[in-house]
């Protein structure tokens, strides 16, 4: 039997899916650059801004990069932390009331995810066409959030099959473009709609643009999980994440704007809003006398008009007055009621 991916699930009690608030992931990545003081500041930034998740990355450079990519090994080696240091960051997240998550980039770090008791597994776009690793991640038995940068539809199907083979049925797919920064013409938020045709779970967006527009547009388009890089430092040589990151100067505003967009989206029913009730009196129209009318007059269409305010008989009932006789005289512009009729 194929796995049926759940349209709704929870991450540490936090609902994810249609009808739930957008899950906001603050992706710190390696923006700590191996400095625990910076790492603590990143946790504080995410928590104080109101993000739901603080996320980082765990890896071993020798396990992640072949020797031929020695320059990448040397670039990222100092941007790593120990398991004990990640444990400290998790405890800081726990104290601040924000979820701690981490992306494991190689198999040597799978035990770290278990030791850190992450509530969900975040998988980066770089695991495209790596079904064996995806299956092992799924076998951890936790909800999965998968970024799909560089993916085509067949790649998505392959990844979903691997996750399903590992027993994962709580999966969220994030549309993503692996470009730092991503140009507007490549953002393609409509791809979220296509992801919804490929599986039944929550769909969202991981952002690599330099500002907030795409992320807010994604929420307006129905993203149920979103991710944004955060940073403290900028203009860092041999680094790219800071180019697409929010910082202390704008990340709190971004989170607040996402929550505002959610409020603006509303419940989806078409009905009068509570704030419209007062306006109904002056904006709508009632049935009124078109001129001075004497008692006993048989009302014709020309004797009646629809005018504001709307605190009388609605204009939609005007025809019910036609052919009826007035019980008493009424002055022009007087709102008519059925009690005025014989």
Average pLDDT over residues 65-91: 94
In this predicted structure, the answer to whether residue 25 has a pLDDT above a threshold of 70 is yes
Chain centroid to Cα 193, Å, comes to 14
Residue 1 has pLDDT above 50, yes or no: no
**Percentage of the chain exceeding pLDDT 70:** 99
Q: What is the pLDDT of residues 107-147, one digit of tens each?
A: 999 999 999 999 999 999 999 999 999 999 999 999 999 99
- Residue from 168, 62, 154 nearest 122 by CA: 168
Closest CA to 231 of 244, 221, 245: 245
Residues near 281 by beta carbon (within 8 Å), at least 6 away in sequence: 309, 310, 311
pLDDT tens, residue by residue, 305-331: 999 999 999 999 999 999 999 999 999
Cis omega (within 30 of 0) on the bond before 181? yes
Tens digit of pLDDT for each residue in 144-161? 999 999 999 999 999 999
Domains of the chain as residue ranges with CATH? 13-265 (3.20.20.70), 275-340 (3.90.1210.10)
């Amino acid at each position: 039997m194929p796995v049926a991916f759940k349209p709704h699930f929870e991450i540490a009690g936090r609902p994810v899916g249609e009808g739930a608030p957008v899950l906001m992931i603050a992706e710190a990545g390696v923006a700590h650059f191996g400095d625990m003081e910076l790492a603590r500041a990143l946790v504080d930034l995410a928590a104080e801004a109101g993000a739901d998740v603080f996320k980082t990355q765990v890896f071993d450079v020798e396990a992640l990069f072949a020797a031929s990519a020695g320059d990448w090994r040397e670039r990222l080696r100092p941007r790593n932390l120990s398991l004990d240091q990640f444990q400290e960051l998790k405890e800081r997240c726990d104290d601040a009331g924000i979820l701690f998550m981490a992306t494991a980039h190689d198999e040597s770090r799978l035990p770290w995810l278990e030791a850190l008791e992450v509530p969900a597994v975040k998988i980066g776009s770089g695991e495209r066409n790596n079904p064996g690793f995806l299956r092992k991640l799924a076998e951890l038995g936790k909800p999965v959030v998968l970024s799909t940068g560089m993916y085509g539809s067949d790649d998505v199907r392959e990844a979903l099959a691997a996750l399903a083979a590992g027993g994962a049925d709580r999966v969220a797919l994030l549309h993503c473009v692996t470009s730092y920064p991503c140009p507007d013409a490549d953002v393609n938020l409509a791809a979220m709609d296509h992801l919804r045709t490929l599986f039944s779970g929550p769909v969202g967006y991981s952002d690599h643009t330099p500002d907030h527009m795409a992320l807010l547009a994604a929420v307006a388009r129905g993203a149920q999980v979103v991710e944004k890089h955060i940073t403290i430092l900028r203009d860092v040589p041999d680094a790219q994440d800071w180019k697409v990151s929010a910082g202390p100067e704008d990340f709190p505003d971004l989170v607040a704007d996402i929550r505002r967009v959610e409020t603006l989206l509303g419940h989806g029913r078409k009905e009068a809003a509570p704030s419209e009730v007062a306006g109904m009196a002056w904006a709508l129209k009632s049935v009124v006398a078109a001129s001075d009318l004497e008692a006993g007059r048989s009302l014709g269409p020309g004797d009646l008009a629809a005018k504001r305010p709307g605190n009388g008989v609605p204009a939609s009932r005007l025809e019910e007055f036609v052919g009826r006789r007035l019980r008493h005289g009424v002055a022009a512009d007087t709102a008519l009621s059925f009690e005025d009729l014989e």
